[in-house]
Amino acid sequence: MMTGLTFAQKVLSKHAGRSVKPGDIVFADIDLMMATDGTLPIAAKQFEKFGGRVAHPERVVLVQDHYVPAKDIVSANASRVTREFARKHGIAHHFEVGRGGICHHVLPDAGLTFPGDLIIGADSHTCTYGAFGAFGTGVGSTDFAYALATGKLWFRVPQTIKVVLHGRKGRYVQGKDIALALLARLTIDGATYESIEFTGEGVADLSISDRITICNMGIEAGAKAASFPVDDVTREFLSKFSHRPIEAVHADPDAHYAQVVELDISALKCLVARPSTPDNVCEVSALSSQPVKIDQVFIGSCTNGRIEDMRQAAEILSRGDVHPDVRLIVTPGTQDIFTQMAANGLLEVFSRAGAAITPATCGACVGGHMGILGDGEVCLSTSNRNFVGRMGSSSASVYLCNPYVAAASALKGYICSPDDL
């Protein structure tokens, strides 16, 4: 019996040049391949063993984001290797520190992520590009090296989970709460190697920023990819890039789904993921009987580092000063976002409130630098992972939340919602 095709099947069919079904192993042409200073050095070593040329330098993007500005000699050398690889192989899309930022914000803002594209990244959060109707997926450095050499990569065609979104967000609820609510439903391995497709009338109300956050966290449920349909919101975002036509790929109405999840956004409250997995979710209000005191708040990352996220945090922070027992670290997603924050007064709001503002980098998110946690410390973070040791000491604990909650908690000194101010 013939059924229609999911988004994942359509993109992989198009790039493999044949019709595919879940479970098939295919070789597909890659439109864009991205690596960072965190992963390119390993891929480059593997690539040199092949001894050839990069097949399509114009399809390669290298971003200096994980450990920049270099924090030690090891990171300086990782950046140097990445830089030299870009020069040697004529890779024009090389984003230096100070001229880029976190890869998953840099690529969309540079007009490099388009609907229907097959994009790989040597970074697990490459699923972010589903916010633009692309099939983005993270790959290991060896696979990345193979793609550099050939322009192709193998894929097992995934099953698809359809997530139907209903209703509109309430005050102080944003993409992060939808991502966490979905994780609570699916759990951290509930979508392993499956593609997630968002649909439903609730999609129209979600900004690009919300969609980035939601797709970004697909990997926290194990998803191979996560995608939104291309609609007016997507077209508006892409309208500033005129170098390519928009060729949206949408699932067929009779596509077969492994699972359908319905999510009522209008019922959502501000959520928090407690240590040490992103699916350990509860409402912020559930913590009020035993307040969780915090030592550090981190606002940034590829999950919540956009100008909208910064505006949401600033709206709350303009109401007071950071609590004396709390350090607040604010990290814009890109250099351009940093510039916008300067132009529209946000830097001043953060600075006056007592925040330390860092350059656009992964920084504290991965326990790299500029905000590493000490023994027993508690951090509230807008990033995507709260694993043991993720942000520093293995005895530190990390909670995840949206920027409104992060900012409100920074003022109060314990985890709370803006409604509690």
Ligand X SMILES: CC(C)[C@H](C(=O)O)[C@@H](O)C(=O)O
- The least CB distance from residue 364 to ligand SF4, in Å, is 9
Quick one: which of 218, 413, 231 has its CA closest to 322? Answer: 413
Q: Tell me: is residue 302 an annotated ligand-binding position.
A: yes
> Kindly report the CA angle at 169 between 168 and 173, in degrees rounded to 5?
170
Q: Distance between CA atoms of 311 and 349, rounded to whole angstroms?
A: 10
Closest CA to 106 of 409, 361, 388: 361
Question: What's the rounded Cα separation, in Å, for the pair 394 and 336?
Answer: 34
Q: Is the dihedral of CA 248, 253, 259, 263 positive or negative?
A: positive
Q: Per rule CB under 6 A, is residue 71 in the interface with ligand SF4?
A: no
Strand ranges, E, within 73-134: 93-95, 118-121
Is residue 39 within the footprint of ligand X (CB under 6 A)?
yes
Q: Is 309 in the site for ligand X (CB under 6 A)?
A: no
Work out the angle at residue 114's Cα, subtended by the Cα atoms of residues 167 and 207, and round it to the nearest 5 degrees. 25
Among 96, 156, 366, 393, binds ligand X (CB under 6 A): 366
Q: Which stretch binds ligand SF4 (CB under 6 A): 46-54, 76-84, 286-294, 362-370?
A: 362-370
What is the spatial distance between Cα 101 and Cα 61, in angstroms, rounded to a whole number?
A: 13
- Residues within window 84-143 making contact with ligand SF4, judged by CB under 6 A: 102, 123, 125
Q: Which is nearer to ligand X, 305 or 418 (CB)?
A: 305
Residue 127 in marked binding region: no
Using CB under 6 A as the criterion, what x/- string covers residues 106-145 for binding ligand X?
A: -----------------xxx------------x-------
Q: Does 362 bind ligand SF4 (CB under 6 A)?
A: yes
105 binding ligand X? (CB under 6 A): no
Measure the CA–CA gap between 154 and 59, rounded to whole angstroms: 17
Tell me the pairing of strands 355-357 and 378-381.
unpaired
Site string for ligand SF4, 368-407 (x = CB under 6 A): ---------------xx-----------------------
Q: Residue 410 — φ and ψ, nearest 5°?
A: -65, -35
215 is annotated as contributing to ligand binding: no
Check binding of 66 to ligand X (CB under 6 A). Answer: yes
Binding mask 241-270 for ligand SF4 (x = CB under 6 A): ------------------------------
Write the DSSP string, 220-260.
GGT-SEEE----HHHHHHHTT--SS--------TTB--SEE
Of 16 and 362, the one with the shorter C-beta distance to ligand SF4 is: 362
Q: Residue 38, interface with ligand X (CB under 6 A)?
A: yes
Selection from ligand SF4, ligand X, none that 301 binds (CB < 5 to 8 A by kind) is ligand SF4
Phi, psi of 182 (to 5 degrees): -65, -40
Residues in contact with ligand SF4 by the rule CB under 6 A: 66, 102, 123, 125, 301-302, 362, 365-366, 383-384
**Binding-site residues from annotation for [4Fe-4S] cluster:** 302, 362, 365
